[in-house]
Structure 1
Amino acid sequence: MDQSLRDVAQQGNIDALYALIRMDVKVLDRIDELPFVESPLHVAAFAGHTRFASEIMRLKQSFSKKPNEDGFTPVHLALQNNQTEVVRQLLDVDEDLVRVQGKEGMTPLHYVAQTGNLVLLAEFLNVCPKSIKNVTIRGDTAFHIALKNNQIDAFNILMNWYKRTRFNDKLASHNKQDKDALLSGVGDLLNSKDEEGNTLLHVAVSQNQTQVVQRLLNSDGVTINSKNLEGCTIWQGQRPISREMGHMLHEGREVLRISPSRRAITHEVYLRYNFDRDFQSFMLRLQMRIPNELRSILLVVAVLYLTINFQLLLCNNGPINRTPPME
C-alpha cells in the first residue's frame, strides 16, 4: 500500500479515498491480490475511523479477513487498540469475523477471553455461536485461554453460554434426529485438551482456581480422570496447591465412589439454574435494536451483575455438599 493511501486511511478521509480511486481505479484491487498485506481497512480499524472502515468494507469486504504481515486481521487490530465501535461495525457486515483466525490461530473471541472484555465476549457469542469451537495452534479453546489468563468472569460467561445452548439443544433434539449443526461438536469442549494434554480441570487446579474447579466437578459430562501428556490426572503432578484446593480435590475423589443417581441435589444446582436462566434472558436482550452507546452501557451493567452475583452467591453458600441422601 502506497503512502498516499495509508495517509488517507489514517485520516479516515472518504473523499480523499475516492480522489485516489479516480486517479487509479485498481488501487484497491492490487492490494487484494496479496495474501498478507496491510490494507486501508487495517489502518482505519486500528485508528478507529468507523465510517471509513464501513466504506472500505462496502468496496472490498475481502480485506476484513486478510491478515497483515504480522498475522492480524482488521478486527484483531481494532481490538488491540480498544476500537470497540469499529469492531461492532465490521461485525454488522459479517458476523463470522468473530472466528477468523490470526497469528497462532487466535480469533477475536479468544482475544476478548484473554483480556476479560466481558461485554464483547457476550456479544461475540451471541452473534457467532460457532466461534466457541475454534482452537489455537496450541490446542487452547476460549475456556483454556480465560483460565490461563485468570479471567474467571470471562470463564463464567463462557460456561453459562455453553450450558444454555446445551440445554436448548437437548430440548430441540426430541423434535429432530440431528442436533443443530451450529452446536455440533460443542459437547466435547469442557473435556478438550491443549497441546500439553491439559483439560480445563488440569489448568484450574494448576492455577489454584478453587471456584472453577468446584464448578467443573459439578458439571455434567466433565471427565475427572483425564491424563495429560505426562500421564497425570488432576490429583497428580500439579504444582503446590492451596489447602482449600487440596481439600476440594480430596472431596472430589470421594464423590467418585457415589453413584450419580444418589448424589444430593445441592443449593448450587439451584443457583446454576437461576443463573443460567438470567443469562439466557440477558442474551435475548442483546438482540434488541438499540443505539450502540446505550447498548454498551446496558451490556456492562448486565454482565457485571450476572458474573458478580454468581460469584457472591457461590461464595456465600460455601463448599458443595456431596453427601448422598438418607435412605
Structure 2
Amino acid sequence: MEEAKFEETPLHKAAAAGNTEVALEILNLMPSLGRKLDGGGWSPLHLAIERGHRDTARLMARFDKMLVRVKGKGGMTPLMQCAARAGNEEHEERKLLARLLIICPESVTDVNNLNQTVVHVALVNRRCKTVSMLVDWLRRRNQITAVLSVKDVNGNTALHAAAQFGCPGGAEKIVKLVKLNRLNSDKKTALDLAKMYHQTAVREILEDKGAKESKDIEELTTTDYVLTEATLPEKISRDYYYLTAQLTLEMRNTILVVATLIVAATYQGVLQPPGGVYPAPDPGTETLARPSMGLGRRRLLQLGDDTWKKHVAGQMVMEKAKYRYFMPSNTFAFALSVVIVIFVVPGNPVFLILHVCLVFMCISYLLALDAISYYTGISDMIYYMSLYAIVGAYVVKLLYYPVKALLVDEDWWLRGLSVKFANRFSGSKGKFSDAVMKMKKQHTVLRLN
C-alpha cells in the first residue's frame, strides 16, 4: 500500500461506508493512508464527503487537518468538493464546509488544476449561498486578495465567474471588495461576461458600482511596459520598493534602539543644559537668586557680581558664543532622531498612540527650548527648522500609505483604499493615470522571481 501510487485501502472502504470508528482507528495506526488516492483519484476524506458521511469527514479532518488539503482528481481538495456539493438548500453541507475551514484555515488558498480557488468552484456549481459564506470567511480572515484576486487558466477572477454563471448574491458581496475592471485572457471584464451570458441581475449590480466594459479600459501589459522608456514615476516606484524591501525587522529594531538613545540624550540636554539655568527669585526679594550651578556662578562672578541679575529665571547660564554651537547641534540631533523613529515605527492603527506620544514629546521639547534659549535669530531658526522637519516627516508618512495602496495589491489594513483607487481611475486617461500605471508595472517587474 505504501509503494502503490493508487490503491484502494481499508480506510477508503471505511470512509465510503461512513464507519467512523474503523476509519479513525486505521488513521491512528497508519496516518499515511489518509493521503492515499484510490483508482478513481480520490482520498478517503473525498469519499466520506461524496457519500454524505459528514460526521466521518469532520472527525477525520480533525484527526489530521492536512487531509483537507489533499488534492484528488483534477486537483480538487475535499474543501472544494464540499463547496461544490453545498447547495442553496443544503444547510448541513455548508455547516461541514464551515467546520473544515475552521479546522484548516490555510486550505482556502488552495487551487485545483485549472487554478481555480474554492470560490471559483462554488460559483461554477452555482452555489450562491456558499459563495456568500466563503466571502464572509475571507473578510474575517483578511484573505480577500489572496483568494478573490486569483485568476484561473482563462484569466477569470471570482468576479468574472460570478458574472458568467449568474450569482447575484455572491457578486453583490464581491464587488465591494475587489477591483471591478480586471481583464481576463480574452480581454473581457466582468461586465462584458455578464452581458455576454445575459446575467441581468449581475450586470445591474456591476453597472451600479461603476464597472466598465473592456472597450473603455486601456491596460498596459507588462510586456508592453518593458518596451517603453523609463520615466520619473518609475524611479519613484523603484526607490519606494527598495526602501521597504531592505528595511528588515532586525534592521528596524537596531535603528529604533539607536534613535531612541539619541532622543533621550538630546531631550535631557534641553532639560538640564550645561551650566544650568537661572533660578527663580527668592520669596520676599526683588532680585533674582544666583545660579545654582557652580561653573556658571563662578563665570558670572568673574564678569561682575551684578551680571546675573540681568537675566530671566529659567534662561540658560551658558554664554551665547557657546550656545550658538551647542543648541543647534542638540536640537537637530533630536529632530532628526525623531524623524527616523517616525519613519521606522509602523503606521498601523495599533501604533497610533505611540505616534501621538511622539507628537507631545516634540511639543514639550520645543517649549522647553523656547523657555531656556536666548532670544536671537539662531533661536528662531532652530525652532522653526525642527518644527518643519518633524511636521514634514509626518506628512511624508501619511503619503506613504496612499502610494502603497496604488502599487501593492495584497491584504493589509488599507487594502480597501487600493480597490477604490483602481476602480476610480481604471480606464481614465491623463498624465496621472499613466504615471500610476507605469509605477505599478515597475513594482511588478521588481517583484519578479
TM-score band by shorter chain is 0.5 to 0.7
Q: Residue 229 of structure 1 is aligned with which of 172, 182, 185?
A: 185
Task: Name the residue aligned to 1:162.
Answer: 138
What is the distance in 1 between the residues matched to 2:185 and 2:211?
25
Q: Residue 198 of structure 1 is aligned with which of 148, 156, 178?
A: 156
How far apart are residue 236 of structure 1 and its match? 2.3
Gap regions ≥5 residues in structure 2:
87-92, 213-449
What is the distance in 2 between the residues matched to 1:254 and 1:62?
48
TM-score w.r.t. length of structure 2: 0.44
1:75 equivalent to 2:45? Answer: yes
Task: Name the residue aligned to 1:251.
Answer: 208
TM-score w.r.t. length of structure 1: 0.59
Contact conserved, 1:205 with 1:241, CA < 8 A, in 2? no
Check 1:196–1:52 CA distance in 2 against 1; reply closer, same or farther (3 A cut): same
Contact conserved, 1:147 with 1:155, CA < 8 A, in 2? yes
Q: Give, as a single letter, the amino acid of the residue that structure 2 aligns with 1:165.
A: R
Q: Deviations over 1:205-250 (max 9, x none)?
A: 122322322222212xx12111111111123254242444433332
Task: Name the residue aligned to 1:266.
Answer: none
Task: Name the residue aligned to 2:101.
Answer: 125
How far apart are residue 145 of structure 1 and its match? 0.7
Check 1:54–1:213 CA distance in 2 against 1; reply closer, same or farther (3 A cut): closer
What is the distance in 1 between the residues matched to 2:155 and 2:9?
38
1:144 equivalent to 2:103? Answer: no
What is the distance in 2 between the residues matched to 1:104 and 1:254?
33
What is the distance in 2 between the residues matched to 1:66 and 1:146?
25
What is the distance in 2 between the residues matched to 1:56 and 1:188?
35
Contact conserved, 2:135 with 2:173, CA < 8 A, in 1? no
Check 1:76–1:217 CA distance in 2 against 1; reply closer, same or farther (3 A cut): same
How far apart are residue 32 of structure 1 and its match? 2.2
Task: Name the residue aligned to 2:30.
Answer: 60
Q: Deviations over 1:62-111 (max 9, x none)?
A: 10101112111110111111112221221232011111111111011001
DSSP-derived class of the 1:114 partner: helix
Task: Name the residue aligned to 1:214.
Answer: 172
Contact conserved, 2:62 with 2:103, CA < 8 A, in 1? no
What is the distance in 2 between the residues matched to 1:131 and 1:74?
17
Q: Give, as a single letter, the amino acid of the residue that structure 1 aligns with 2:84.
A: Q
Q: Give, as a single letter, the amino acid of the residue that structure 1 aligns with 2:36.
A: K
How far apart are residue 161 of structure 1 and its match? 1.0
What is the distance in 2 between the residues matched to 1:54 and 1:245?
45
Contact conserved, 2:149 with 2:157, CA < 8 A, in 1? yes
Q: Give, as a single letter, the amino acid of the residue that structure 1 aligns with 2:110.
A: N
DSSP-derived class of the 1:196 partner: coil
- Mean alpha-carbon deviation: is it higher for 149-158 or for 85-94? 85-94
How far apart are residue 33 of structure 1 and its match? 2.3
Check 1:227–1:86 CA distance in 2 against 1; reply closer, same or farther (3 A cut): same
Q: Deviations over 1:8-60 (max 9, x none)?
A: xxxxxxxxxxxxxxxxxxxxxxx222221111111111111111112211211
Structure ID, larger Rg: 2
Contact conserved, 2:122 with 2:130, CA < 8 A, in 1? yes
How far apart are residue 156 of structure 1 and its match? 1.3
How far apart are residue 149 of structure 1 and its match? 0.8
1:85 equivalent to 2:55? Answer: yes
How far apart are residue 124 of structure 1 and its match? 0.6
What is the distance in 1 between the residues matched to 2:24 and 2:205?
51
Contact conserved, 2:181 with 2:211, CA < 8 A, in 1? no
Identity of aligned residues (%): 32
Q: Residue 51 of structure 1 is aligned with which of 21, 24, 37?
A: 21
The alignment covers a number of residue pairs equal to 206
What is the distance in 2 between the residues matched to 1:243 and 1:87?
38
How far apart are residue 140 of structure 1 and its match? 0.9
What is the distance in 1 between the residues matched to 2:5 and 2:124?
32
Contact conserved, 2:124 with 2:161, CA < 8 A, in 1? yes
**CA RMSD, 1 decimal:** 2.0
Q: Give, as a single letter, the amino acid of the residue that structure 2 aligns with 1:193.
A: K
Task: Name the residue aligned to 2:196.
Answer: 239
Task: Name the residue aligned to 2:111.
Answer: 135
How far apart are residue 254 of structure 1 and its match? 6.9
What is the distance in 1 between the residues matched to 2:168 and 2:26?
47
How far apart are residue 134 of structure 1 and its match? 0.4
DSSP-derived class of the 2:114 partner: coil
How far apart are residue 251 of structure 1 and its match? 2.2
DSSP-derived class of the 1:32 partner: coil
